[in-house]
Amino acid sequence: MNIALFYFSATGITEIISNHIATILEGEGNSVKLTNMITPDSRQTQIDFLEFDACIFGFPVFGGRPPTVAEDWMRTIDGRNLKCSMFFTYGARDLEWAHQVAYYLLTQANFQVVLSAEFIGKHSFNVAKGWSLAEDRPNQLDFEVATEFALQSIIRFQKDSKFNIDLSEFSYKPVKTIETKGPYSKFYPSRVTDDCSMCYLCEKECPVKAFDAISGETNRKLCITCMHCVTICPDKVIHVGDVSQLLEKFMDHFGLTEDIVEQKRSKIIF
Ligand SMILES: Cc1cc2nc3c(=O)[nH]c(=O)nc-3n(C[C@H](O)[C@H](O)[C@H](O)COP(=O)(O)O)c2cc1C
Ligand code: SF4
Ligand code: SF4
């Protein structure tokens, strides 16, 4: 089969899982076209989904749902009745409505969703000093689930199968990005020294056009704190604040302990 795998990955975790899934699919004799939809340009390109036999979508969970820009993108595409599966990576807190939101939007976009899955991944905020959640994920077990997800996706792309996510408790509302005030505003990135080679990657690759390479600052009204600029800066000069005080409060607030995080498992939703 000719399979397209579209993913959104800011710190590389969804990309690692996507690459693993592609390797498994290719090992089974399929061809896979991988595309990271992180840049605004990539999300503006018109896609004819009928060039493919099936499609897979991978998103990180941001605030219990897909990133707002990924949701905006899903509202612009037309799957023309193509079969697809979808998966999420999340930083061991919770997925909340992520499956429902993407299932709803992809169904509205004329895709037949046949399978979904969720994978634990290192938390994006681990790039910040003093934050550490699921640092060693995805691990061997997570990759085994990703292998199974790839194989099950092929089976479901080829035969009739019933898959349904219950939307009875769910109603879709788009969210708007708003500027974060208070302690969590420490996650806004900025350049910390002038020792920068001015490659403009931070500005070109920011998913919401928020980062300004000249000033080294982000527009807080647009920034979704995805940590992509921090991750990709070749000179490692874009940083976020020290958030060690925040992690304990976050863990307490969400009832998380290191043991609970360790016990969290990736899984396929059949
Ligand atoms: C703004 C933001 C919000 C996040 N919200 C959640 C969340 O609600 N639940 C969770 O478990 N992880 C959350 N995470 C962690 C990411 O889902 C996780 O680290 C993911 O694997 C990152 O994927 P990526 O590297 O492909 O961007 C969040 C990360 C960011 C940057
Ligand atoms: S990505 Fe880093 S090195 Fe490149 S312009 Fe931005 S701050 Fe400078
Ligand atoms: S400026 Fe904000 S939205 Fe843009 S890449 Fe950096 S963290 Fe992500």
Ordered per-residue pLDDT tens for the chain, 270 residues: 999 999 999 999 999 999 999 999 999 999 999 999 999 999 999 999 999 999 999 999 999 999 999 999 999 999 999 999 999 999 999 999 999 999 999 999 999 999 999 999 999 999 999 999 999 999 999 999 999 999 999 999 999 888 999 999 999 999 999 999 998 999 999 999 888 999 999 999 999 999 999 999 999 999 999 999 999 999 999 999 899 999 999 999 999 999 999 999 999 998
Predicted local distance difference test score (pLDDT) of residue 71: 98
- Given the CA of residue 218, which atom of ligand 3 is nearest to it? 1
Determine the distance separating the centroid of ligand 1 and the alpha carbon of 60, expressed in angstroms: 6
Residue nearest to atom 2 of ligand 3 (CA): 223
Q: Is the CB of 94 under 6 A from ligand 1?
A: yes
pLDDT value of position 162: 84
- Exposure b/e, 42-78, CB count within 10 A at least 16 = b: bbeeebebeebebbbbbbbbbeebbbbbbbebbeebe
Amino acid at the residue 26: E
Atom number, ligand 2, closest to the C-alpha of residue 236 = 2
CB 69 near ligand 3, within 6 Å: no
User: Beta strands 217-218 and 211-212: pairing type?
Assistant: antiparallel
The answer to whether the CB of 266 is under 6 A from ligand 1 is no
Nearest to 163 by CA among 121, 79, 106: 106
pLDDT of residue 39: 96
Angle at 98 between CA 239 and CA 186, to 5 degrees: 20
Residue 193 is predicted with a pLDDT of: 85
Which domains, ranges and CATH numbers included, belong to the chain? 2-171 (3.40.50.360), 182-262 (3.30.70.20)
Q: Do residues 24 and 71 make contact, with C-beta atoms less than 8 angstroms apart?
A: no
For atom 1 of ligand 3, the residue with the nearest CA is 211
Name the closest-CA residue to atom 6, ligand 3. 229
User: Which pair of tokens denotes residue 92?
Assistant: 């061991």
The predicted model scores a pTM of 0.98
Residue among 90, 93, 89, 60 at smallest CA distance from 250 = 93
For ligand 3, atom 4, the nearest C-alpha belongs to: 206
65 Cα nearest atom in ligand 1: 8
pLDDT of residue 148: 98
Q: Using the mean position of ligand 1's atoms as its centre, give its distance from the Cα of residue 67 in Å.
A: 9
User: Could you identify the atom of ligand 1 that is nearest to the CA of residue 119?
Assistant: 21
- The candidate with the shortest Cα–Cα distance to 109, out of 86, 79, 65, is 79
What span, in angstroms and rounded, lies between the C-alpha atoms of 242 and 246?
9
**Is the CB of 189 within 6 Å of ligand 1?**
no
